[in-house]
Chain A
């Protein structure tokens, strides 16, 4: 059974038909990437899975369980965590308070210290900045915090929305290394990216999204060789 399966999702913003029948699958332990241009519907897809948007049609299944009708906060309790677009950290709270809120959905508070230690091992810089107000962190640190916070929920699947956005190339590389490390520890990841080259280099499979529809799906290696992908998303003639 797939970790996440969505079938023929149609999502609207008012009358605008944003997603026109999207279907995709993420197997347990995989990194799957969703690439596409601006406005293709990548973020909308993630928000629909997370329950922040309600599809008019279609199904979202988490290990076979239908979570389409659940509210956003209920979806979190099922083990779906999100690293929102633009990081979405709580800028006026401290690093520790942000991480604490990441664990809000957890009922087993006794493991909190252990989880905190785990996040600090992955992101030693966050440990140095524990008491600092999150809004004063640099862009890279904020991304680390957003990722660390989502890990505090011990998700079964992590939805990541453009983790490379607005970061220097050298930082992008280290963030992607961390994504691989998190995946190796057993978290399934669905990654939305504009930086297609980076995304395809760490993902097992990829979907290409165009104006609300999946136009291509293949293994990451094949997608990298695909002429249309090379032209449109990798900028290679």
Chain B
């Protein structure tokens, strides 16, 4: 019992802190607006509360339910009774409510005293505070807020308890039966064993990929393109970091080389070469790969932290070189290069945002194909061994020097491809497109998604580059949001959103395996 209540308090504390954070960046109000757009557009008034407040309350209520359900969850090795569930969810709701109510009171009191909080926290306008206090005066509003979260917490706990009883088991069994019945039924089996089944699935996938940009508008195509370029970059860096285990913080350098190659070869200024995009594309990729080898040679004997620092420097060098006075006549300097040429297809321009989504998709598919082939090849195995233990890898007959260079070159080639597409799509590139944040973002995509996992990298790019686009309202706090997400991810899901089978094996099941073996009769020799 004590253990559960303890857990309730702890959960309430976590939820409360997260809630405070969300409120400080104005998220509940944004969520309220989204709910409003999604459900209704009229201004309902209920219980004397107007629509804005109601919508915000819906969001806060969901969080409250979640906090209660999580706080009142069943603990391993503890008896699970109504009383325990309610007591612990109540303590969770109480803590959560106390923190949020306290914040509401504090903000209200400051506002009443005439402090303009929005000067320090842009999202906290007087109207927002009013909304947070449910339109009441400071004390009443804060108490109501507290009470609301307390009650929803209790409700969440009760709901959680009810749902995990017989009821849930019955539901689960029913679903399992339906599903296995479906999978094992004669006609499903027949279809699945048909030789054309997998090709048909792939074809369907391609059709869907074809349709999406057609249906999406200009804005969404632009966003998709940005996400896609990050998928490309992430897949490339995944080869270096995930497969070969080399921490490269200067990845943006190769991206920049790709971008500048297409820029200088196709733009009217500063060189007026005006080459075709299709000629510049392979040149950009090859130059980036060559730069990868060039960077690789001096850092071959470095490991871990040292490698990270040196690559970091390399990434900055490229950007600073591009802005330097020395290279300004050559590279366009701080102003960058504009009017970069786009691709043409059969004499027609092929460079709308939609067209680029297709180009980027082709690039991604190509990258996926190459990386999956590589991973299962001899080279992939060598990278794996090298990542685990370089010295032993050498003692297995693996030439670690050439394999490191290969990883750098291949990763850089994909970054070069990404850079070419990026610059050509934007029709502009400048030094600010190639700062350190790009390297960090790409690395985060790989880590959040799941190191070494290809679907993971794709999921990571959507989570880190797509989500902020969707949540445009919290753009100002994107970096904050990003940081919080990274911290939460690393604590709760260190293996990433969609880990490779290997990583999940290491971080999750490995412990179970060890336990199983030591427990088995005669397990340890």
* Chain A residues with a Cβ under 8 A of chain B: 50, 52, 71-73, 76-77, 81-82, 84, 88-93, 97, 100-102, 104-105, 125, 132-133, 135-136, 138, 140-141, 149, 153, 171, 174
The answer to whether A133 and B506 touch (CB under 8 A), given A88-B389, A101-B385, is: yes
The answer to whether A73 and B513 touch (CB under 8 A), given A90-B389, A90-B392, A133-B505, is: no
In the complex, are the beta carbons of A102 and B396 less than 8 A apart? yes
Secondary structure call for the B interface: helix
In the complex, are the beta carbons of B517 and A136 less than 8 A apart? yes
A-B contact list, 16 entries, CB within 8 Å: A89-B392, A90-B384, A90-B389, A92-B388, A93-B384, A93-B388, A101-B384, A101-B385, A104-B382, A104-B396, A104-B398, A105-B396, A125-B525, A133-B506, A133-B513, A153-B396
- Please provide the 5 A-B residue pairs with the shortest distance between their CB atoms, ordered closest to farther: A105-B397, A76-B397, A72-B394, A90-B388, A88-B392
In the assembly, what is the distance between CA of A104 and CA of B399, in Å?
11
In the complex, are the beta carbons of A73 and B525 less than 8 A apart? no
Partner of A52, one of B394, B397, B514, B524: B394
The answer to whether A84 and B525 touch (CB under 8 A), given A90-B385, A101-B385, A135-B510, is: no
Q: A73-B394, A90-B389 are in contact. List 6 more A-B contacts (CB 8 A).
A: A71-B399, A73-B396, A73-B397, A104-B381, A135-B510, A140-B525
In the assembly, what is the distance between CA of A155 and CA of B472, in Å?
62
CB distance from A14 to the nearest CB of B (A): 15
Partner of B510, one of A72, A77, A133, A171: A133
Does B400 reach chain A (CB closer than 8 Å)? yes
* Chain B residues with a Cβ under 8 A of chain A: 378, 381-382, 384-385, 388-389, 391-400, 502, 505-506, 510, 513-514, 517, 523-525
In the assembly, what is the distance between CA of A76 and CA of B525, in Å?
31
A171 to chain B: which residues have CB within 8 Å?
525
CB distance from A164 to the nearest CB of B (A): 14
In the assembly, what is the distance between CA of A81 and CA of B400, in Å?
17
In the assembly, what is the distance between CA of A92 and CA of B502, in Å?
8
A82 to chain B: which residues have CB within 8 Å?
395
The answer to whether A73 and B502 touch (CB under 8 A), given A90-B392, A104-B385, is: no
Partner of A138, one of B381, B396, B502, B525: B525
In the assembly, what is the distance between CA of A100 and CA of B384, in Å?
12
CB distance from A51 to the nearest CB of B (A): 8
In the complex, are the beta carbons of A101 and B396 less than 8 A apart? yes
CB distance from B431 to the nearest CB of A (A): 40
In the complex, are the beta carbons of A138 and B524 less than 8 A apart? yes
B400 to chain A: which residues have CB within 8 Å?
73
